[in-house]
Amino acid sequence: MKIIMLGAPGAGKGTQAKKIADKYQIPHISTGDIFRANLKEGTELGKKAKEYMDQGLLVPDELTLELIMDRFKNPDCAGGYVLDGFPRTIPQAEALTKALEEKGESIDFAINVEVPDENIVNRMSGRRACLACGATYHIVHIPTKVEGICDRCGKELVLRDDDKPETVKKRLGVYHDQTQPLIEYYTSQNKLAEVDGTQEMEAVFQNIVKILGA
């Protein structure tokens, strides 16, 4: 199964993608996580991506596509995947469609997790991320057992630099301009499914399971 998670930054794409990956036993591929891992390792790609990420801008398509096409070559992608944060522009979506078509394949679902802008700044300012294992929490809605410590791997959690309110507002603007048009794109391909992302995490997941089938 090949699934794309769509939605504003902070809508809950990553949270749901991890649950989908666990249930359906497919890899969770987050371009944001890959950029952050590169940044942590100090690679050239990480340094280039940081310039854009820190400003709340998208990393250029060319760089992002090179990274994701390389990731698809990994044998763990053979049985499908859940994409989180990719595609984020029409050229990225077109490149994905073309790359899949060349193999006689297509995505199965693009799931749009809908959360109004008013809720997003709260979601992001409360988000705490584990840069070691990629887990994500919320200080109020999805708290850890021990404050500031990852339940999964025991490392310290951080507030991402790009989750500060000024950058979040910028990222929301970029989302509306460049990513929201993908809703129309996947609607026209009959792949779009919508879920109400304002519900509690487990309720959102149950709606997604209904769409994907058990």
- Which CB, 84 or 195, lies closer to ligand AMP? 84
Least separation in angstroms between CB 1 and ligand ADP = 19
Can you state the angle between helices 61-72 and 90-101, rounded to 10 degrees?
A: 30
Decide: is 38 part of the binding site for ligand AMP (CB under 6 A).
no
- Which CB, 105 or 152, lies closer to ligand ADP? 152
Region at 154 (left for phi over 0; alpha for psi -120 to 50; beta for the rest): left
* β-strands 109-114, 136-138 pairing: unpaired
- CB neighbourhood size of 138 (10 A): 19
The stretch among 80-88, 111-119, 186-194, 195-203 that binds ligand AMP (CB under 6 A) is 80-88
SS3 (DSSP) at 195: strand
Decide if 152 is catalytic: no
Decide if 13 is catalytic: yes
64 binds, among ligand ADP, ligand AMP, none (CB under 5 to 8 A by kind): ligand AMP
Decide if 160 is catalytic: yes
Decide: is 7 part of the binding site for ligand AMP (CB under 6 A).
no
CA distance linking residue 191 with residue 137, whole number of Å? 29
What is the tally of helices (H) and strands (E) in the chain? 9, 7
Decide: is 115 part of the binding site for ligand AMP (CB under 6 A).
no
Decide: is 85 part of the binding site for ligand AMP (CB under 6 A).
yes
Which residues lie near ligand ADP (CB under 6 A)?
A: 7, 9-15, 123, 126-127, 136-138, 141-142, 200-201, 204
Closest alpha carbon to 9 in 75, 84, 111 = 84
Single out the catalytic residue among 19, 36, 88, 191: 88
Closest alpha carbon to 205 in 53, 77, 16 = 16
Single out the catalytic residue among 19, 123, 128, 171: 171
- Which CB, 99 or 117, lies closer to ligand ADP? 117
- For the annotated catalytic residues, the residue numbers are 13, 88, 127, 160, 171
